[in-house]
Amino acid sequence: MIELLTAVFSVTFFVTVIRASTPLVFATMGGLISDLSGALNVALEGMMLIAALTSVIVSAYAPWWVGVLAGVSAGAMLGAVMALFHLRLKADIILVGFGVNILATGGTVFALSLATGGDKGTSINLPSKAIPRVNLPFLEDVPVLNLLHGHSLLSWFAVLTVVAIWYFLYRTPWGLWLRGVGEYPAAPEAAGVNVRQVRTWALVASGALSGLGGAQLAMFNYVGFTRDMTAGRGFIALGAVLLGARHPIGALFAALLFGVFEALSIVMPNLFSWIPGELIQTIPFVVTVLALILLSIRAQRALKARGVAN
Amino acid sequence: MQRVIEARGITRIYPGGTVANDGVSLVVRPGEVHAVVGENGAGKSTLMKILFGIEKPDAGDLLIDGREARFEGPRDAIDRGVGMVFQHFSLVPSFTVYENVVLGSEPRAGARFDRAAAIERVRHLSETFRLKVDPEAQTRTLPVGQQQRVEILKALYRDAKILILDEPTAVLAPQEVDELFTAIRTLTAEGRTVIFIAHKLPEVLEISDRITVMRAGKTVGEVVAAETSEPQLAAMMVGREVALRVDRSTHDGPRAVTVENLTLKADTGVTLAENLSLNVHEGEIVGLVGVEGNGQAELLEAVAGLRAVSSGDIRLKDTSLTALSVLERRHLGLSSIPEDRLAEGLAVESTTAENLVATRLDDPRFAKRGLLNLRAIRAHATALIDRFSIRVGGPEFKVGTLSGGNMQKVVVARELSEQPVVLLVNQPTRGVDLGATQFIWKSITDARDKGAAVLLSSADLSELLALSDRLVVFYHGRIVAAFRNSEALTAETLGSYMLGADRMDDGQMEAALR
Ligand SMILES: Nc1ncnc2c1ncn2[C@@H]1O[C@H](COP(=O)(O)OP(=O)(O)OP(=O)(O)O)[C@@H](O)[C@H]1O
Ligand SMILES: [Mg+2]
């Protein structure tokens, strides 16, 4: 137990938490945007996976930032494809989303073997690049401030993104449109807002954000692509949106919470070798389910306390 | 002759084949209040949606200010100075008033939504046109009357020169109607034009300058308000004479519903109704009188099982209802026609047949061993559509495509398809035409004559006076007066109690509270 506590209260653990949370934060923001626009994007998982592979392959032949941009564009394009099927061809958004996920699982393995010349599991043979780490050596020995040392550039960008999304949603006209479209589309429509356009952009943005998450995953958390490397993060992100009460700041904290559990599942196997590793890896998912159950129990209670539900 | 709007030969056929507009023409002059009247399903809303760019006509021309208009969407109509307040509001519930008003044309400071400017502009508009509403209130917490003001402000904010009001008075209390009319007169005095749809002819005659009458998708004619009369209009609309007469109850049954010392509280803890005691007997209609928000609707909800009771008791015969679920209450013979047919009465995305059978899914006629008997459900629907003369393409048509009045008939048909023991009715004829009003009134009194105990609430005093055998007046969640209905009882008398100017003491009420 003592070992666990010392591990948890170390700077390295904090860095691990931030590293584990960053892809989740991006995916969660992606999920939030589309959820607020009225479309539940279950394809975050597949978008992240495809973006991860895209950035790995592109970064093998171009600077790291081009790799990241390629991942973002891949995500955005998937968002546009979803918009096409859902909004123009009127297909069900959940089905389209699962279509993307299935395409991602199979398609990435196929594309990986093409890109590596036959390797279906990992991209070890590809000299892909990493996102730079922001080192602040002068802070390394200052207590508390040393927590700022050694994070991915994208982690810093993630903080900026959350603030920007909050600003966008609650301080700009377009944020108002987006929320209006998600809650009661007839109202913005009667006010002359192009509802379909708003939804399209929301899906594109949602894809671009998950693309960022995918890039961080395959160019920082791990350098290189492994099949199914997203490992359910897209779904955890959907949970984080709900747990965060569909608000960017709340969702950020929810994503961080899941990051903590992921970090725990990384450090625990070394400390508790008697717990099977598989069991430890289920922790983030168990926590998601528990958190959502608790949340809905609390909501029910609140309603009952006010005498609304019988 | 000047014309702000000229529509010629407008035809609109909905997918599914309903001819909602069939060569309609409409001419509106600048600065006038132009009423459009007609039965439910006559095509009034459709015509208005075409003027506002929500629906596209399949044939016909539309001229605004003498220039041809081809609207691709509401944005185009807004840009040409047309504003519309829908029959069913289009406001985002969680938004504040000012957010709803400016949505789509927000004042900006750079890329930022300038909230302060928005609040200021909305406050200014609300003062100029005397449409009182708090710009910073959350829309969902407002009573319908105020939500409507928000809708009107929305159109005025976009500087609408032509304002279309689709059945604005249907949801208003009498004083609110007067306030609305004042606002409309302010608008026309400014040179704006108002198109006004309503079913109540006295209102139409009071506010409008000219009236276009529609029947079955066609224009029947245009008349000058000052040169026509109620019976003449009614005859034009319906094609026959209509008389709204109701016979008083003759039956005097035993007590059915007892409400005893009932107290109701809102989610926030605010008291909505306090110490209510009243009884309803078999075969009588008790009218709940009061300005909206004084506890009548809440009492009905509590009896229906939609609202928890803080203290006190509600009994049907000798059974206490307070602990029973909605379904259990329904099994005891309770029926309810709720106030908001869209939110509480119907599932608009479901078919008419599904809606008509929705409360009977445990009836072995319609569902056996967990499987629906589609044939029986369809036959049931066909029979009710026929019995209640609901204007709909067929049982499989979605309820959402019906006109407002016909939606209401679906609710009435479902609730009265079997004889209820207790019938709760809230705003039964809101947005319903003359013919259908007559029909719904008759359905309610028929249920009464067969022994139902009826609790009726309505914003329309003439409806309450026409139907009720006894009336109780609510003010701030308490009963302040009670009457046995008679020819001598007038809307003015009720009004003075409704507004809290008068109140009876217990002794005076006793006789009428039996
Ligand atoms: N979206 C739709 N799809 C199919 N049919 C429709 C649709 N909207 C309206 N209708 C049909 O068109 C006809 C005209 O409807 P409309 O709503 O214009 O009538 P209305 O005169 O406004 O009636 P009310 O007084 O009841 O509001 C009705 O028969 C209605 O069922
Ligand atoms: Mg209508």
Q: How far apart are CA A275 and CA A300, in angstroms?
A: 35
- Output b/e per residue, B203-226; b: 16+ Cβ within 10 A: bbbebbbbbbbbbebbbbeebebe
Q: How far apart are CA A130 and CA B379, in angstroms?
A: 68
Structure tokens at A227: 């099949």
- At B256, which helix (H) or strand (E)? strand B255-265
pLDDT of residue A309 exceeding 60, the answer is no
User: What's the whole-number average pLDDT of chain A?
Assistant: 88
Q: What are the strands, taking DSSP E only, across B338-466? A: 367-368, 371-372, 422-426, 453-457
| Rg value, chain A, Cα | 20
Residue corresponding to tokens 């990992």: A122
Which of B233, B66, B91, B65 lies closest to B155 in space, CA to CA? B91
Whole-number Cα distances in Å, B376 to B366, B385, B386, B419: 6, 14, 15, 19
pLDDT digits (tens, 9 = 90+) for A6-20: 777 788 888 999 999
Which of B143, B168, B186 lies closest to B298 in space, CA to CA? B143
Calculate how far, in angstroms, residue B419's C-alpha sits from the geometric centre of ligand 1: 30
Identify the pLDDT of residue A169. 96
Q: How far apart are CA A12 and CA A5, in angstroms?
A: 13
Which among A173, A176, A190 has the least Cβ separation from residue B90?
A: A190
- Does residue A192 belong to the interface with chain B, where contact is any CB pair within 8 Å? yes
For ligand 1, atom 10, name the residue with the nearest CA.
B401
Identify the pLDDT of residue B244. 67
Q: B18 CB less than 6 Å from ligand 1?
A: yes
Name the band, by pLDDT with cuts 50, 70 and 90, for residue A308: very low
Q: Tell me if A187 and B112 make a contact (CB, 8 A cut-off).
A: no
Cβ atoms < 10 Å from Cβ of B8: 14
Structure tokens at B487: 């020819």
Nearest ligand for residue B390 CA: 1
Q: What are the residue ranges spanned by the domains of chain A? A: 2-309
CB B161 within 8 A of CB B187: no
Q: How far apart are CA A93 and CA A98, in angstroms?
A: 9
- At A33, which helix (H) or strand (E)? helix A11-36
Distance of CA B167 to the CA centre of its chain: 8
Residue B78: what residue type?
A: I
Structure tokens at A100: 């993307």
Q: Tell me if A171 and B308 make a contact (CB, 8 A cut-off).
A: no
Q: Tell me if A307 and B94 make a contact (CB, 8 A cut-off).
A: no
Which of B431, B438, B444, B440 lies closest to B40 in space, CA to CA? B431
A36 CB-side CA count, 13 A: 31
The proportion of chain A whose per-residue pLDDT surpasses 70, expressed as a percent, equals 96
Backbone angles phi, psi at A144, to 5 degrees: 65, -60
**Chain B residues whose beta carbon lies within 8 Å of the beta carbon of residue A308:** 267, 308
Identify the pLDDT of residue B53. 93
Which of B389, B402, B408 lies closest to B46 in space, CA to CA? B402
Structure tokens at B489: 């009882």
Q: How far apart are CA B408 and CA B389, in angstroms?
A: 12
Which among A173, A183, A310 has the least Cβ separation from residue B94?
A: A183
The string of DSSP letters for B278-333 reads: EEEETT-EEEEE-STTSSHHHHHHHHHTSS--SEEEEEETTEE-TTS-HHHHHHTT
Residue corresponding to tokens 């504040």: B96
Distance of CA B271 to the CA centre of its chain: 26
* DSSP state, residue A220: I
Hey, which residues does B265 pair with through a beta bridge?
A: B271
Q: B14 CB less than 6 Å from ligand 1?
A: yes
Identify the pLDDT of residue B514. 75
* DSSP state, residue A217: I
Q: Select the more confidently predicted residue: B308 or A174.
A: A174
Q: Tell me if B100 and A187 make a contact (CB, 8 A cut-off).
A: yes
Which among A176, A187, A190 has the least Cβ separation from residue B106?
A: A176
Distance of CA A42 to the CA centre of its chain: 12
B5-238 and B246-333+420-514 in the same fold: yes
Segment among A90-94, A291-295, B217-221, B471-475 with least mean pLDDT: A291-295
Name the band, by pLDDT with cuts 50, 70 and 90, for residue A245: confident
Structure tokens at A177: 């449109």
Hey, which residues does B475 pair with through a beta bridge?
A: B478
**Chain A residues whose beta carbon lies within 8 Å of the beta carbon of residue B308:** 307-308, 310
The mean pLDDT of A27-54, rounded to a whole number, is 95
Calculate how far, in angstroms, residue B40's C-alpha sits from the geometric centre of ligand 2: 7
CB A77 within 8 A of CB A200: no
CATH superfamily of B5-238: P-loop containing nucleotide triphosphate hydrolases (3.40.50.300)
B348 in the Ramachandran plot: left (φ > 0), alpha (ψ -120 to 50) or beta? alpha
Residue corresponding to tokens 């005659």: B205
Q: Tell me if B92 and A189 make a contact (CB, 8 A cut-off).
A: no
Q: How far apart are CA B90 and CA B75, in angstroms?
A: 15
Q: Which of B72, B90, B272 to mutate to test the interface with A (most CBs of A within 10 A)?
A: B90
CB B319 within 8 A of CB B332: yes
> A26 to chain B, minimum CA–CA distance in Å?
23
Q: B435 CB less than 6 Å from ligand 1?
A: no
Name the band, by pLDDT with cuts 50, 70 and 90, for residue A304: low
Task: Determine how β-strand B67-68 pairs with β-strand B59-64.
Answer: antiparallel
Q: Is the pTM above the cut of 0.80?
A: no
Geometric angle at alpha carbon A64, from A58 and A67, rounded to 5°:
35
Residue corresponding to tokens 């934060």: A25
Backbone angles phi, psi at B454, to 5 degrees: -115, 130
> B113 to chain A, minimum CA–CA distance in Å?
4
Residue corresponding to tokens 């390394």: A140
Identify the pLDDT of residue B61. 93
Three-state SS at B219: strand
Q: How far apart are CA B172 and CA B144, in angstroms?
A: 7
| Inter-chain CB pairs, A–B, below 8 Å | 77
pLDDT digits (tens, 9 = 90+) for A49-85: 999 999 999 999 999 999 999 999 999 999 999 999 9
Q: How far apart are CA A2 and CA A19, in angstroms?
A: 24
> A13 to chain B, minimum CA–CA distance in Å?
39
Three-state SS at B281: strand
Identify the pLDDT of residue B241. 65
Whole-number Cα distances in Å, A307 to A51, B278, B314, B405: 48, 23, 16, 33
Q: What are the residue ranges spanned by the domains of chain B? A: 5-238, 246-333+420-514, 347-419
CB A241 within 8 A of CB A151: no
Q: Which residue of B has its CA nearest to A186?
A: B90
Residues of chain B scoring pLDDT < 70 = 1, 240-244, 251
Q: B404 CB less than 6 Å from ligand 1?
A: yes
Which of B388, B424, B134 lies closest to B256 in space, CA to CA? B424
CB B467 within 8 A of CB B444: yes
CATH superfamily of B246-333+420-514: P-loop containing nucleotide triphosphate hydrolases (3.40.50.300)
Q: How far apart are CA A213 and CA A161, in angstroms?
A: 12
Cβ atoms < 10 Å from Cβ of B79: 12
Q: Tell me if B305 and A310 make a contact (CB, 8 A cut-off).
A: yes
Domain A2-309 is of which CATH architecture?
Answer: Orthogonal Bundle (1.10)
- Does residue A177 belong to the interface with chain B, where contact is any CB pair within 8 Å? yes
Which of B163, B182, B214 lies closest to B40 in space, CA to CA? B214
Identify the pLDDT of residue A305. 55
Whole-number Cα distances in Å, A157 to A121, A164, A255: 30, 10, 15
Q: Tell me if B310 and A308 make a contact (CB, 8 A cut-off).
A: no
Identify the pLDDT of residue B243. 65
